Amino acid sequence: MKIDSKIAGAALRAMQLELARSMKGLRLSGHPSPCYLGYSLRVRQGYTVWGRYGSVFYSAPLDSSTLHADLRVGSYRSDQTVDGRLESREDDVEWLDLSEGPEDFDPFTLRYCFWRLTAARHREALRDYYDKKKISLDEQLVVGAPSLRRVDPTRLSTPIRKLKGSRAAAEDFVRAASQHFVRYPRLEDPYVQLKELVQTRIVVNSEGAQGIAQERYFELVVSASMLAEDGVRQYAARTFFVRRLDELPGLDAIATLVDEVNEDLEDLVRAEPMEPYAGPALFGGEAAGVLFHEAIGHRLEGERLLSRSEGHTFAKKVGKRILPAGIDIVDDPSLERFDGRTLYGTFAFDDEGTPAQRVQLVEDGILRRFLTSRNGIPGQKGSNGHARHSKGRELMARMGNLIVTAREALSQSELVERWMAEVERREQPFGLLVTNAESGETTTSSDAYEFQAFQVDPTKVYLVDAATGNRRRVRDVSFVGTPLTAIHGVMALGDDMTVDNSYCNAESGGVPVGTVAPSTLLREIEAQRSTSARQQPPILNLPPRR
């Protein structure tokens, strides 16, 4: 699979021709006509390689192409969409199989693929249009804004370049890097994974917008597990998600990373399981980033205001305080670097062709606006360039690079002093220190059997003695809580900004994101022991090395 500037330009022209033909020809007497159509082609090139003990276990190209068509019938004021399309039936739609693109980008072949896809989406749009009329007879849909917002058309383009590395070079790297695991026979299922992905996006729509952009992503994972005496498996990893190849650690640094993973696991298996706790906690920057991402970020995605099944946590909070004074939150997918590090959620324009924009979500603790796509959100003027999705999913506003800052940030010593004072005031024997977190999840549904809650899964947690300052590591921990309780309990933010790059999964699929946040002091967080299966250790040890 090959794509360069010439091929991309020809593909864009083919997409424009088929789009114009569809807008003109998809008309049935007595039925609503298309009012908007957007096409996107996503070409992925690269490789992924992983292995252990000096051997490659898996090596494969990542070459693929996918198509997407967003077709609206009726009018901008009222089209066929309901609930922000959060309830879309991605596992039961005709067009899902048609979203696979070709390996050769011949203009006729591309037009054929988009012709087939558009026909399926048109049939679905008409069915949904009449279903919406039926629904509105029985239920009150969210109104107050048009179904679709107009955006001034733009033409954007970024350079298209070749892969930086090669699969053969990646295989050699993985063989050499994974040899270091041999030094630690107690490690189980260790692996090194290296991935390079170059993604080229081509977007056109019926309003005249067009864009060609290329985005590069590099990943390195050094991971292993170890069984504790009680049979609970512990995991540790060093992960790097960057946008430049030279930001990945080289072979000379891998031995140190393997040492760190082994040391981390040795600490974990010696640590005691966490007992239930509710009290003050200090979250390090990376853990704080996960906290803000889950507790606030997802609840500021605009489509959630349109869905009847959502909790609408902040729906009536614009212009009101949702965080302590002095805290600002922006999302800026146009920002490429922070403190010298590339940000994973950077893009030139979103998947609707709207230029990426910096959005001031929270200003001095007061909610100002939501992340938006072109879907009409009550109280929001239009798209701020955050429409994103992955294959087979509908577009919705998603985070890009979420950045949390404090106007009066405290030094680490001041933060610890205030934390310990709160622990003593609460007459707690210790406070909780979280220096790292791997992931989290949140529930935003208003369903009677769901809870407005979030969860953070930390990887490094310590109990810090209030009298002596000594800290003791604990394991098998998860944090749970309601978003309003957590964010209202923010006492102070530090001056240490930490970049955390990763992937985020939601209704529109998995997308790369960046989060930048400082250490955060919480008045209260609830910790519980995470449930884990207890396993038996292997009867035999690792085979001898030849």
pLDDT digits (tens, 9 = 90+) for 325-383: 999 999 999 999 999 999 999 999 999 999 999 999 999 999 999 999 999 999 998 99
DSSP bridge partners of 148: 375
What pLDDT, on the 0 to 100 scale, is given for residue 453? 60
d(CA 200, CA 465): 52
d(CA 435, CA 433): 6
Pinpoint the residues of the chain covered by CATH 3.30.2290: 5-213
List, as one string, the DSSP characters of 192-253. EEEEEEEEEEEEEETTS-EEEEEEEEEEEEEEEEEE-TTSBEEEEEEEEEESSGGGS--HHH
d(CA 537, CA 546): 23
What pLDDT, on the 0 to 100 scale, is given for residue 442? 56
- What are all long-range contacts of 138-141, with beta carbons under 8 Å and residues at least 24 apart? 139/308, 141/82, 141/83, 141/308
Reply yes or no on whether the pLDDT at 451 is more than 50. Answer: no
What pLDDT, on the 0 to 100 scale, is given for residue 90? 56
Residue bearing the bigger pLDDT, 283 or 528: 283
Q: Which CATH architecture has domain 5-213?
A: 2-Layer Sandwich (3.30)
What pLDDT, on the 0 to 100 scale, is given for residue 257? 97
Query: How does residue 528 score in pLDDT terms, banded at 50, 70 and 90?
Result: confident
Mean pLDDT of the region 385-395 = 95
What pLDDT, on the 0 to 100 scale, is given for residue 91? 58
Q: Please, is 108 exposed, middle or buried when counting C-beta atoms within 10 Å of its C-beta (0-12, 13-18, 19+)?
A: exposed
What pLDDT, on the 0 to 100 scale, is given for residue 439? 61
d(CA 527, CA 517): 21
What pLDDT, on the 0 to 100 scale, is given for residue 219? 97
Structure tokens at 237: 């990893």
- SS3 (DSSP) at 169: helix
| Region of poorest pLDDT, from 46-50, 96-100, 403-407, 451-455 | 451-455
pLDDT in tens, 132-174: 999 887 777 877 899 999 999 999 998 888 877 899 999 999 9
DSSP bridge partners of 40: 68, 203
Arithmetic mean of pLDDT over the chain: 92
**Other CB atoms within 10 A of residue 291 CB:** 31
Structure tokens at 338: 């922070």
Mean pLDDT of the region 180-190 = 95
List, as one string, the DSSP characters of 247-268. GS--HHHHHHHHHHHHHHHHHH
Which residues have CB under 8 Å from 448's CB, separation 6+?
A: none
- DSSP state for residue 84 in the 8-state scheme: G
Mean pLDDT of the region 45-59 = 97
Which residues have CB under 8 Å from 167's CB, separation 6+?
A: 47, 49, 59, 61
What crossing angle do the helices spanning 5-25 and 107-138 adopt, rounded to 10°? 50
Mean pLDDT of the region 502-511 = 94
| Region of poorest pLDDT, from 105-114, 164-173, 443-452, 511-520 | 443-452
pLDDT in tens, 266-292: 999 999 999 888 999 999 978 999 999
pLDDT in tens, 229-250: 999 999 999 999 999 999 999 9
